[in-house]
Structure 1
Amino acid sequence: MTLIIEWFLSGINEVWYYMTNHFLTCILPAFFIAGAIAMFLSKNAVLKYFGAQTKKYISYSIGSVSGILLAVCSCTIIPLFAGIYKRGAGLGPAIAFLYSGPAINLLAITLTSSVLGWQMGLARIIGAVVFAIVIGLLMSLIFPEEHKQDSNLFSGQQEQEKSKKAVAGFFALLIGILFFGTLDYSFVSNTPIAAVFGTSESTFTSTPIVELVVKYTILIALIIVVSIVTKRLFDKEERQGWVDETFGLMKLIFPMLLLGVFIAGVIKVAIPSEVITSLVGSNSLAANFIAAIFGMLMYFSTLTEIPILESFMDLGMGQGPALSLLLAGPALSLPNLLSIRNVLGTKKTAVYAGLVIVMATIAGMFFGAIVS
């Protein structure tokens, strides 16, 4: 009974941490971006770059690197993916975008190289781009049926005849909120603003308070600008449509996302890290496969996979399994899979997860053989 309570509390703590640390500055902005894609972005604009009829070298190239500037986790990418997919994107390019978002963002690549070494950072970049393209192509081959727009999810949409520059600026502001909401603000320790909270006039001190002040000052300013732009660019009916689309997506995705976060929290205490590291200390097929499966089961918020992986490697985790986890973990998680299932269905979701696991296992074995 005590063990069950411990597991339950761990799941609740994970949900609490997730809600308090990521909802306002990460998940919610992502849902508003997805709603805006559904309401304001011309279907022709989506089809131009991600459509099933777009030349593959264009759609897959853009999809595979589109995550570089989006510092998002495996759950935050879901509403963005759902937005472009339901708006008419081809399955393959949309899947490439789905994988690349959390796997190759610029902050994660930089921190990986800094903490785990340039070899791991380079392997992550190459692996993420190749995975995004190959998995997207395989998904489009396995499920070649014609893509159909879900009229129930985005009902009442109308093509908006707005200035392309104005709409592009509007989306840039929304992405800016997402970017600055997930940015690491420890760099303020080297700026004059930190001196306001420092211990002395000559010392710049970065504290959580300083970082929060800088962070929310930027976010509030961006939100004010977005509010002004939205009011001038769109009429009342369009603004209401944006809200409706946003919360329609939230009702579809968010409940399953929270359930997955809870389950991931239970797994953290149900499976001791010592057991995991004892199974992935070599570069065998089994070790790489277990690492990839473990990455799939766990939820890693943006950048948290790096310190967790560092601790596993300190305990004896091999280089190959480490890369397997790094390529599978950020792109997959229980919340991610449960949410994707609501968008793609069980069969497509299972195939997508299987492709990621298989490719992560192979990549880990290859990398482990090279660096050993």
Structure 2
Amino acid sequence: MDSILNTLSSLLFAGWSSLLDYLAAHVLLCLVPAFIIAGFMSSMIPKETITRYLGPKASKWISYPASAFGGFILAVCSCTILPLFAGIWKRGAGLGPAITFLFVGPAINILAITYTGAAIGFDIAVARLVLSIAFGIVIGLAMAWIFRKEETARTLQMTEAGMFEQSAQVKPAIWVVFLLLVAVLIVGTLQIDLLTNVYAQIRLPFEINPQLRDSLSAVNLTFQGALLIILLVFIGLTAWKGFENVFSGFNRWTYVAIGLIAFTIIVASPKEEIGSIIIGINGRLIGEALVLTALGAVISRSFTKDELSGWIWETWKFVKQIFPLLIVGVFLAGIAKEIIPAVWVQTIAGRNTLFANLVGVLFGVFMYFPTLVEVPVARMFLDLGMARGPLLAYLLADPELSLQSILVLNGVMGRKKTAVYVSLVALMSTSAGYLFGLLLAAS
């Protein structure tokens, strides 16, 4: 009985430690800005601006890059992209651009790429970004060519649909705010000397209790990290009170939540060592303060409360949809890391072989995870010894080839198109992981 309790305690502690590390290290400067950007794009950039370029009348040089950009802008998960794909394809988009949109959307949305870079490494994040765009376009072109006769007949029947003749205006302030939001994200995550160098130091006007310091060190938390987790909890509570009914008007909790978000990003920026009460004023803190100030000035002058309400609601919707799943996924990944023997992972996928990369792809098919949860799972496998090539193959395939996605696509496109699409994704993901591993070995 004692051994069972000890094992259970060890597993729970592993999950808890993983969750604390995730909340302190990846959420504030990474996911919070990414959620805000995703909500901004969803509410402020009209879909007509994106989808009008995907129609059969558009040049391939326009429709395929536009579909890839549209997938990135919409920032949706694999379950959400399916009805969007079905909608634009049924209403007149070419099969090729629609497939590109389908592939790129869940693979390179701002949340996925940002979190991949922060949790696993920017080499994997950049490879995932570039290859997802390239594969999306190549697979779209291949599907359009393979089924060109069917698509020609279909296009003739649907030229009067009119969906892609619509237009929408985007005011310049939207692009200014978008760039400033991206700057918040970049300043918070980019690892360069200008941002990481410490230019001054401040000693906190109190001493940390030794027992508290030891407790924090036991779970690899700094005082700053613990404070950020507490602030994150307060953000959640105030956001629930202030964002849930934001279309009814701003209340005091709305302003408190917005202020807490900005304040917490500032708190997350300085450098602090474990067990220390000395805060380093680095370039990241200075940069975030400047960008947030500029952002506040532009927003206050250029947007109505109705527009801001839409932005807040879309952001809050993303958070409610994704963040709880992330919490559960990170916790379970921490437990799984404790359970799975590292030798298993090292034996099956510890080397960069075609078989190991195929295993990564197959794992993505049969073990579907909601958006972003695949990242902590990938981090777990990396820690257990998986080679980076198979890891990339898994990250490329997971958003595209879950069993439920395959079943839905079968109902939308038919068996033949679905089989070809799945085969192309599996082949390219396996090959990409293998070649990426060879490139790393040669460098």
Q: Give the structure-2-normalised TM-score.
A: 0.54
Give the drift of 1:171: 0.9
Is contact 1:332–1:353 with CA below 8 Å preserved after alignment?
Answer: no
1:221 match: 290
2:101 match: 93
Decide which of 372, 376, 390 is 1:324's aligned counterpart.
Answer: 390
Per-residue CA distance 1:161-191 (angstroms, 9 max, x = gap): 553x3221111111111222222255556x5
1:4 match: 8
1:177 match: 184
Is contact 2:71–2:104 with CA below 8 Å preserved after alignment?
Answer: no
Is contact 1:15–1:261 with CA below 8 Å preserved after alignment?
Answer: yes
Decide which of 18, 21, 27 is 2:25's aligned counterpart.
Answer: 21
Is contact 2:31–2:115 with CA below 8 Å preserved after alignment?
Answer: no
Decide which of 325, 343, 347 is 2:408's aligned counterpart.
Answer: 347
What are the residue-to-residue correspondences of 1:145-224 with 2, within 5 Å? 163=171, 165-185=172-192, 188=195, 193-194=198-199, 213-224=282-293
Say which is worse superposed, 37-46 or 47-56, in terms of deviation.
47-56
How many Å separate the matches in 2 of 1:122 and 1:235?
36
How many Å separate the matches in 2 of 1:268 and 1:326?
19
Q: Give the structure-1-normalised TM-score.
A: 0.62
What are the residue-to-residue correspondences of 1:1-372 with 2, within 5 Å? 1=4, 2-48=6-52, 54-61=58-65, 78=76, 90=98, 92-93=100-101, 95-100=103-108, 127-134=131-138, 163=171, 165-185=172-192, 188=195, 193-194=198-199, 213-281=282-350, 284-292=353-361, 299-300=374-375, 312=385, 322-329=388-395, 331=396, 347=408, 357-365=426-434
Pair 103,214 (structure 1): closer, same or farther in 2 beyond 3 Å:
closer
How many Å separate the matches in 2 of 1:179 and 1:103?
12
Is contact 1:96–1:135 with CA below 8 Å preserved after alignment?
Answer: no
Give the drift of 1:67: 11
How many Å separate the matches in 2 of 1:129 and 1:162?
25
How many Å separate the matches in 2 of 1:51 and 1:251?
33
How many Å separate the matches in 1 of 2:354 and 2:397?
20
CA RMSD in angstroms comes to 5.2
Pair 267,234 (structure 1): closer, same or farther in 2 beyond 3 Å:
same
Give the drift of 1:34: 1.9
Aligned length: 319
Per-residue CA distance 1:219-259 (angstroms, 9 max, x = gap): 23322222221121111222122112211222222222322
How many Å separate the matches in 2 of 1:300 and 1:211?
30
How many Å separate the matches in 2 of 1:13 and 1:106?
20
Residue identity opposite 1:19 in structure 2 = L
Residue identity opposite 1:230 in structure 2 = I
Give the drift of 1:31: 1.9
Unaligned runs of 5+ in 1: 71-75, 114-119, 147-158, 198-205
Pair 369,162 (structure 1): closer, same or farther in 2 beyond 3 Å:
closer
2:225 match: none
Residue identity opposite 2:65 in structure 1 = S
Say which is worse superposed, 275-284 or 251-260, in terms of deviation.
275-284
Give the drift of 1:272: 2.2
Say which is worse superposed, 12-21 or 130-139, in terms of deviation.
130-139
Residue identity opposite 1:326 in structure 2 = L
Pair 104,355 (structure 1): closer, same or farther in 2 beyond 3 Å:
farther
Is contact 1:323–1:360 with CA below 8 Å preserved after alignment?
Answer: no
Is contact 1:283–1:365 with CA below 8 Å preserved after alignment?
Answer: yes
Is contact 1:181–1:219 with CA below 8 Å preserved after alignment?
Answer: yes
